Each structure stands twice: as structure tokens, then as C-alpha cells.
Structure 1
Amino acid sequence: MASEAIRSLMDHLVGGRLRIPAFQRGFVWDAERVAFFMDSVYKGYPFGNLLLWRTRQELTHERDLGPYQLPAGDPEYPIDYVLDGQQRLTSLFGVFQNSLQAREPDERFNVYFDRQAEDSLQSSQFFALPLDQPVDSARYFPLRVLFDVVAYRQATEPLEGDDLLLIDEMQTRFKEVQVPTQTFETDDRGRVAIVFERVNRLGVELDTLQLLSAWTWSDDFFLQEKFEDLGEDLEPFGFKLVGEDTNLLLRCCSAIIQGEAAPAALMQLDGDEVRERFDEISNGILGAIDFLRTNLHVGSMANLPFGTLIVPLAVFFSAKGNSSVVCTSAQRKALLKWFWRSSFSRRYSSDVIRKLELDIQAMLQLKGDVDDSLIDIDAPVWRSFFTGSMFNTSSVNTKTFVLLLTQAQPRSFVSGAPISLQRVLKDYNRNEFHHLYPRRYLKDLGYETSDINGLANFVFMARADNNKLGGEAPSMYRRHLPGDGQAAILRHALCPASLFSDDYDLFLEARGETLTRAAKALVADGELDVALSSYIADDWDPDDIPF
């Protein structure tokens, strides 16, 4: 790995050879963090490397370096764009440089060395001081003069003895610092796309839409605005977040226009073509969401096991102008089986790009005919899926479990009335789900939290219903259920009658088997039998428990 001195990096920035691409977020560090970073550099603590992309293709759009507008570079030389390390680089430049005038004063860079601060391994010896207050020069020494020979001589002129030695030593440390850099050089958009995606996986906040805009698209391309408008259209249905997920939407664009959603394909998107065919893209996304809402009771993005499921569906439902794709019965069944097999097999938890490519091509085949390749997904379902997975509304298994429960059209445990799934799932949260065997009851019996919070012990239940039933044994809270509706309530909850046995182990075995049977039906047929009775795995008679 190479390295650069601070002085060298500053020269590259002022010379226009080191730039900030528009797809980087802006400078966000506060004054305290900048000063603390200076302390780390001074003390020789590791502070990470700069990741640079070297190219001869100047981007259409670039970002300023904090409050500084960088000058243009020499077109004869390549440009290094900063992919990772912008906050650190901006801090170093803002604190030490004297060449460029900031758009407005920024006290985050007004950093001083406190000569009276204890030389501590933990505490900082550097502080950012307010611009509008006088500075005690007998105590604080400005860092902005360290790389300016004339200014440094003037600032140190009053010092002598140990004070001068301390400042000279401080200057030497900063001058000798080597900032590690890692540079990859290419003008190949495919390579950049792959590196860009992998940097994003490492947690560096880069914006794919901004990358495309900065590289290839003109100033009059308003795709971001169109995405926002699409989000507004979807807000009443609980899907506004789709319009805010630019990476998902760009994959939909690429999948519909180019038949693939790999990073390299994204880089080949042409702004004019996306604009001209945006009706296809919009119709595809709207059709996908309508299918999910109508056929699977998906009330919001939060309900989906994988947001990526929208991409292949958008390909199937894409249509020009005001037209729309109407599913045949066979196509609908194929889409449903694909959804359930993808969800139960956790299809998009790994190797996402390859699986997307397969599913996109299969969707294109399905639009013309029913093609078995779409549902050629191995998705075995075991009882441990329900008895061994913990309930967590953000996990893939829980989201799949919740959507399974919706297919049985659950009812209130207190009133017996059907639950409004669109309302509940639109405002998806933990309060709409509660334990069948109350947590307090099981804790008193000595069960561990992991045993209590498995998926098999949960059901759709509003907080008010849960409060009504209380923390009693099921055989006791049974009296709050409508007498003539208990069988229907249990059936629509995919819940065996042994719920009222007060034998938790017996119940878990039967509920786990019931849910497994229902899941296998969805994987095999795409839908549950409306009677539901065939899924209930129980030979226990609830009338054995007297009131």
C-alpha cells in the first residue's frame, strides 16, 4: 500500500489532481471530531487509508471539499477521485491549508494545539476554538501555520526554550505523517461498478444514483425527482419507501431496460433511454406492488422478506404507456409459488446478482408463456423454521412467517371479527403480534426466553386483545373468546386446539407441524386451501378441559 505526506495531498488538491466525486456525501464531521482526529494523527494512532479511483474521464458533476471549491486540473493528467476517506482528507486540508479561500468561515477547522494540556494517551491535546472569540496565544498554537514557512516563523517568534521545542516537535510529527492510500486505476465502467458496490458493502455511504448522474447523465436529467414522485404516489398504500430506495429503483430500471441488474449493467444505463421508457419502469413497479398487496397482503416495504423481490416482479409487470399486464390464472400461480419459494429458501440472502439474473430472464419467459424455470427453486420447509427461529419483526424468517399467517385471514381473539390486514401491515410493528402462551405464564413455569419467543408461539393479536386476555394460562383466558367462534378463530390463526391444554411442549409440537403443513402448501401450490382444516395438526379434544 502506498502513502502520501499531508503536504503532498494538499498540493494534489490545490492542483486539481485529487477530487471529490458528486456521489460522495458531504462533509459531516463536527469541530470536536476534527480536533480529535488531529490528536490521533499527532499521537501516531491508526486512522485508516484513502481509497482512490484514478481515471482520465472527468466526471460531469463533482463535489466541493467541505467549504472549499477545488480548482480545475490539468487535462493531460489523470484524476484521483476519493471513494473512501473524504472526511479525514477534508479535515487535514481544512486545518492546514492556506491556499484557498473558504466560501464562508468554518470554525471546525480552527484547530489549536493546547500547550498546557497533559500529554495523555487518552485525552485530546487539540481543540477547535470559536472564530469570534480571542485566543490565548500563551496557551494555544494554531495548526494552520504548520505548513506555511513564513507564518510558522512569525507564530513561533515569541517562543523560546521548552515551549519552542514542544511546538517544533509537534510540527515535525505532522510533517512526517504518511497517509496510507490505495489506488485502483481504470476507465472501465464495469470494474468501477463492481468496486463501487463492494465499497458500499463495507459501509461507506456512496450514492449509486449520484454516481450515474456524475458520470454519464446531463444536468437536465431528473430521475431523482421522478423517483420521489413515484414514492408520493405509493405513500397512501404504505410503499413510499420504495421511492426513497434509489438502489432498488435503479435495479428495476436496469432489469426492465437491459434485462439484468448487475452493477456493470447499472453503469451502462443511458439517461435519455431511462427517461423515454420511464412509463414502463413506473408501470412495472406499480404493478409489482399491486400484485403483492392484492395477492399476498403485503402492506408495506417492511413486510417484504427481501426488497429485491420487487425487481423481477417489476420486469413481469412492465408495460408501455397506459397499458398494464394482466396475469392469467397460470401466471398468477407461478408468481405466487416463486414468491413463497424465494422467501422460505431465503433466496436473496446470498449470491444476489446471479439469482436476480436468473429470475429476470425467467420473468421475461413467463410474460410470454408459463415457464417452470421461474419456480425451479428448492425450498424445503422444516418444523424448526417455526420452532427454532426467534420472533423479530426485522428478520427474514419473521417477515415470511407473518405473511404466512395473513394467508389464513386471521381473526380477533376477542371479537372473532376479521383483522384488517392492510391497516395492520401498513403500520408494521411488534404491537400487532403477541404470544399464544403468555410470556409471564411461561416464565413462571421456568421456560427460557429463547423457548418463549419462537415463531410458533406468536399470532396476530392487537395490544387491546392481548391486554384483555392477560397473562393467564390459555385454558383460563379461553373464557374471553366468543364461545361459538373459537373453532374459526383457531383455524384462521393456524393454531391447534391443544393451545388450551396448558401443555406448552405439546402445543409447540402441534403448532410447529400446523405451520409447516401450511408453508409446504404455499411452496407447492402458492395458496392455502380456503377450508384450512387440513393444515391443523392436532388430535387433542379441547372439550377435555372444563371451564
Structure 2
Amino acid sequence: MLQPQNQNKKYEHLFSDIDQGYLKIPKFQRDFVWSKAQTAKLIDSIIKGFPIGTFIFWKTREELRHIRNLGNIALPETPKGDAISYVLDGQQRITSLYALRKGLRITTNDKKEIDYKDIYVNLEFEPDSDEEVVSVDKPQESSSISVYDLLNSSLVNLIKKYNDGELEKIEKYQKRLINYDFSTIVISDYPIDIACEIFTRINTSGQELTLFEIMVAKTFDQDRNFDLAKEYEKLNCSEGPEKDLKDAGFDTIPPSTVLQCISAYLCQQVRRKDILKLDKYEFIESWEIVKNGIFCAVDYIRTHLRIPVSKLLPYNALLIPYSYFFIRNGGKSPTNLQNKLLTQYFWWASLSSRFSSGAEGKIALDLKKMDDILNEIPPTYRGEELNLTLDKLKWYWFSTGDAFCKAILCLYAYFEPKSFRSNSIVKIDNSWLKVSTSKNYHHFFPKGYVKKQGIEEWKGNSILNVTIVDDYLNKREIGAKAPGDYMKKFEDRNPELHNTMKTHLIDDMELYGVWGNNYETFIEKRGERVLEEINKRIEPSL
């Protein structure tokens, strides 16, 4: 890498680079947020000869996603084959100065429009006065000139409007603005990840760029009409007839997981450094392939594993090996053996806290397991066997953020739980699954009832005491009642209640201690039932 170059630029030279398409503001920069008063103070500092900080530019031949318009001015494209300088530090200052030079109208984030022709220099004051000579309001009691006119009008054209003393001040102001030495540092040909690291370190907001923001900038290609940010939005929620993850109930998949799906396909590694090294054109070419792989993986998870929404997934990372499998399998349906092995992998990874730490390295290893499954070879889990016992399961604390709990909830969802009241299938919704008090979760032995019985909270909040229900009405009807009492009411309303409860892995309410309100019996029997279903999936007959 070349060393940074210190350069001083005059006003005209600085902004001719923008006019010719050589200086751009990358899209990962903050939106323009400066007020009119801040811009006025900046000009006042320049007129007084004060330092206003250094601009830092990154010069590269990489094309990044960048801002195309400033206010009412469309910025030109960079001439083909030429290097571009991107603003890493000084966006607010350089935008303000350019807006003044061009007399732009810019709408800020709070929808206020700033007219940059309406910032004025008060000609009553001397240039070196302690007073601020630049203001956002036109002085009513004294003569003034707009900064726009100051920069764009010749003295000849101003003779009729101003007296000799005022013209002398105007000439002085013009010279100070036009001849001001703007300090700039140019870093040339740095890798994008280093340039973004520099941006992060000098960014006064202290907000670190995400990997996705960097890859959005890096993979942008105008000729191919590829914008990763827009493509991700369409993947999540397309406005047209195209397939999207929202319709499938999987719209909570983060962009980082999508990037890892692409990297898994292209290089079988998913670390940050591997993603940053991906070739731009290979990345763009792979987008549709990986997108289809993700859709196939989601379809499989929803239909074969019967996990209806992404919020139930123990780990978003599970989508990576599954999308890899379907891409390598050419989108074909798995064979019977592959189905069993894919199911086995899901439950092994979900219940073993597989991705709770060191996820990137483990995903790379699991891609090799997917290669085995593609070849119909059972992957080895030697040394990583899942030893799940009833004792571990019985009093496992229920938490919606816990991968193990989510896996058990996935098992509950597999049986398409039905409403206690109507025997209709429960609707499971992403928006309802964020907290343990959500509309979809119900403690079968209510927390209030358990507390009254003197049962410790660590026992009462067992994952085995949780059922998936349809809406808040069930909770309102149940309150802190004993299950033997409230279930009697549902039995009167729902003649199919016995079959309904089987969809909750509660096979016999008498045997499970429901009618007798026996909590320990309920946890024991339901735990045995849950463990039976898990073992079927972990140790399939091949």
C-alpha cells in the first residue's frame, strides 16, 4: 500500500473534481445532516482563515455504491477507466461547500429544505471582526451579499449594487474563499476493508460499518444493474409477483447470513475475511444461484421439518449448510436417505449448541457433512455425540433466545399444534415470538398456579411446561387456574380435545397428570414423549 499523500486544494480545484465525476460520496456514509447554521459557521471560519479540518479521500479503481444526486443537481459519472476518489472523512463539510458553490436546494432527513442561495455575508462588519460575518438570515439593517453570489459573480456585475467600500470587502471575501488552502489526505489503492476500517476509526459517530454495508459498497455495479442493498430488500419482500422470504415467514434472516450463504457456495468458508476477498463479479454471478438455494432451503425447512417461521430457528446459521446442500444438489428434492440425514443434522446441530461459539469454523466443517449427505454417506459425529437425557430435559429453563429451547419449540411446531378451544391449527407468527410472554407461548401449568402450589420458579418455567397456542384469548380464559379446571371447560367446547392434545405431545391427560393437577407427573410424561421424538430424529433407521 502507498503511504497517505498530503495535498492542499483550492476551492475551485476541490469542486471541479466533483463536477467531472472524480470525487464521490460512498453510500455507506451518513446522510447529509448539517443545518444551515453549521454551514454558515463553516464559511465564517474560512473567511477568518481558521482551520476547518482535513478531508480524507480514498483513491481507487473500485466502483462503490455512491450518492448520485445532491439536492437538485445530478452528479456526473466517472469517466470510464479512471480512478475515483471517495470521501472517507469530511462529507458534511464538502457537501455544504459544494451546495453553496452551486446554490443547491437540499432536503434533510427531517424533511426540511435548505436553500443554499440564502446564506449571507454581512458587509457592515470588517472581515477580521470578532463578530460572525456569515448568517443564515439576510441582514435587514445593513448591506449584505449571498455567499452564492460572492462565489459566482464578478466584481464588474456587482458595481451597480454596492459602493466602493462594500466592493472592497467583497473582493477581500472572494479572495479568502477562493484562495483558501483546503487540507486533504489521499490514500491510494488501499483494499476496501482497510479503507472501511479507516472510515470507521475516524467516523465521529463511532458507528462501525457492518460487513453487509461494506459488501453493498464493494459489489455495486451500475452496468449490471446490481445493488446488493436493493437485492436483499427484494429477497426479503418483493413488491412484485416474485418469491420472497416474507411470504414464506422467513423475513427475519439477517443480511450477514445471506452473505455467508454466498461465501459458502463460492469458497466453502464463511469468515469475514473470506467474504471480503470474494471477487465482485463472481459474487454478482452467484446471486441468483444462491438466492434460489436459500428458497429451496426455506421450503425444505418449512415442509419437511415443519418449522413455519424463521423466528423459531435455533440458529440463523442453519440456513447456510442447507442452502449449500440444495445449490450443490441442483435444486433437486432429497432422496429418502438424504432426508433422514438432513433431519439428523438439524437436530444434532440445534440441540448440541453447535453455533453458540466458533460458528464460522464449525459451519465450514458442516459443509463437508453436507458433501457427505450429497453423496448419501452418513456424516460422522464421532466425539460430538448428542447425549440428551430426561434429567437434562425436565427442568431446562424456558427462554425464547435459547437455541435449545427453540429446538424444542420446533419439535412442538412439527406436530402442527391445534387450538384447545376449536381444534383449528395454531397460527405461528414471527411478530409473536420475540418474548416469552408472546401470544404464541402458554405455560400449560400457569405460572401463577405453579407459584401458588409452592413450586420453585426454576421448575415452573421448564420448556416442557410450554405449549404453543393460538392467541391471547386462551391466556385470558386460563389465567392462574389449575389445568384440570380450565381444560374441563375446553373439553365441553371441543369434542376433539383428546386428539387436539396429541398435537401438543400430551397423549393422555389422565396419564399425564392433567386432571389431577400433578405437575411432576406432567413434566415426567411429557419429557418422555419429547425425548422419544428427538431420538427418532437423532438416530434414524438408515
Match of 2:530 in 1: 518
Match of 1:539 in 2: none
Match of 2:124 in 1: none
Counting only pairs closer than 5 Å after superposition, residues 56-455 of structure 1 correspond to structure 2 as 56-59=60-63, 61-64=65-68, 66-67=70-71, 81-82=86-87, 89-95=90-96, 100-101=101-102, 103-106=104-107, 107=113, 187-188=190-191, 202=208, 207-208=213-214, 210-214=216-220, 218-221=223-226, 224=230, 228=234, 232-234=242-244, 237-239=247-249, 241=251, 246-263=255-272, 264-265=274-275, 267-271=277-281, 274-275=284-285, 280-318=289-327, 324-373=331-380, 377=384, 379=386, 381=388, 387=395, 389-392=397-400, 396-415=403-422, 417=423, 419-420=425-426, 423-425=427-429, 428-429=432-433, 430-442=438-450, 455=463
Deviation (angstroms), 1:316: 0.9
Contact 1:221–1:271 (Cα < 8 Å) also in 2 = no
Deviation (angstroms), 1:521: 5.3
Question: Partners in 2 of 1:50 and 1:350 — Cα distance?
Answer: 41
Partner AA of 2:217 in structure 1: L
Match of 2:171 in 1: none
Question: Partners in 1 of 2:439 and 2:187 — Cα distance?
Answer: 49
SS of the equivalent of 1:339 reads helix
Question: Partners in 2 of 1:403 and 1:62 — Cα distance?
Answer: 42
Deviation (angstroms), 1:472: 1.6
Contact 1:61–1:214 (Cα < 8 Å) also in 2 = yes
Shift in CA distance, 52/355, structure 1 to aligned 2, threshold 3 Å: farther
Percent of aligned pairs with the same amino acid: 16
Contact 1:381–1:520 (Cα < 8 Å) also in 2 = no
Counting only pairs closer than 5 Å after superposition, residues 6-21 of structure 1 correspond to structure 2 as 19-21=24-26
Deviation (angstroms), 1:459: 0.7
Deviation (angstroms), 1:302: 2.5
TM-score, normalised to structure 1's length? 0.62
Deviation (angstroms), 1:257: 3.8
Equivalent position to 1:457, from 453, 461, 465: 465
Deviation (angstroms), 1:403: 0.6
Contact 2:219–2:284 (Cα < 8 Å) also in 1 = no
Question: 1:237-260: CA deviations, max 9, x gaps?
Answer: 524627x85544443333334433
Deviation (angstroms), 1:204: 5.2
Shift in CA distance, 380/64, structure 1 to aligned 2, threshold 3 Å: farther
Which ranges of structure 2 fall in alignment gaps of 5 or more residues? Answer: 45-52, 108-112, 121-131, 154-161, 167-179
Question: 1:142-195: CA deviations, max 9, x gaps?
Answer: 9979x99x9xxx9xx99xxxxxxxxxxxxxxxx9xx99x9x9876446767999
Partner AA of 2:223 in structure 1: S
Deviation (angstroms), 1:81: 3.8
Question: Partners in 2 of 1:142 and 1:69 — Cα distance?
Answer: 27
Shift in CA distance, 262/435, structure 1 to aligned 2, threshold 3 Å: same
Question: 1:444-478: CA deviations, max 9, x gaps?
Answer: 66889887655343211223433444432223223
Question: 1:59-110: CA deviations, max 9, x gaps?
Answer: 2653258547778999999866456x6xxx4333344667642553454587
Deviation (angstroms), 1:387: 4.1
Deviation (angstroms), 1:292: 0.4
Deviation (angstroms), 1:409: 4.4
Structure 1 stretch displaced more, 451-460 or 302-311: 451-460
Question: 1:9-48: CA deviations, max 9, x gaps?
Answer: 9986775686422x4266164x67x869999xx9xxxxxx
Partner AA of 2:352 in structure 1: S
Shift in CA distance, 79/278, structure 1 to aligned 2, threshold 3 Å: closer
Question: Partners in 2 of 1:428 and 1:257 — Cα distance?
Answer: 36
**RMSD over aligned Cα, in angstroms?**
6.1
Match of 1:493 in 2: 504
Question: Partners in 2 of 1:459 and 1:143 — Cα distance?
Answer: 70
- Answer with 1 or 2: which has the greater Rg: 2
Match of 2:174 in 1: none
Question: Partners in 1 of 2:480 and 2:15 — Cα distance?
Answer: 66
Shift in CA distance, 204/418, structure 1 to aligned 2, threshold 3 Å: same
Deviation (angstroms), 1:431: 1.5
- Residue-pair matches, total: 475
Shift in CA distance, 204/36, structure 1 to aligned 2, threshold 3 Å: farther
Shift in CA distance, 65/356, structure 1 to aligned 2, threshold 3 Å: farther
Deviation (angstroms), 1:435: 2.2
Question: 1:294-319: CA deviations, max 9, x gaps?
Answer: 22212122232222222211111126
Question: Partners in 2 of 1:57 and 1:311 — Cα distance?
Answer: 32
Shift in CA distance, 387/249, structure 1 to aligned 2, threshold 3 Å: same
Contact 2:301–2:307 (Cα < 8 Å) also in 1 = yes
Contact 2:417–2:469 (Cα < 8 Å) also in 1 = no
Deviation (angstroms), 1:354: 1.8
Question: Partners in 1 of 2:55 and 2:505 — Cα distance?
Answer: 53
Match of 2:28 in 1: 24
Deviation (angstroms), 1:400: 2.5
Shift in CA distance, 471/52, structure 1 to aligned 2, threshold 3 Å: farther
SS of the equivalent of 1:348 reads coil
Deviation (angstroms), 1:51: 12
Kindly indicate which of the two structures has a greater share of residues assigned to helix: 1
SS of the equivalent of 2:420 reads coil
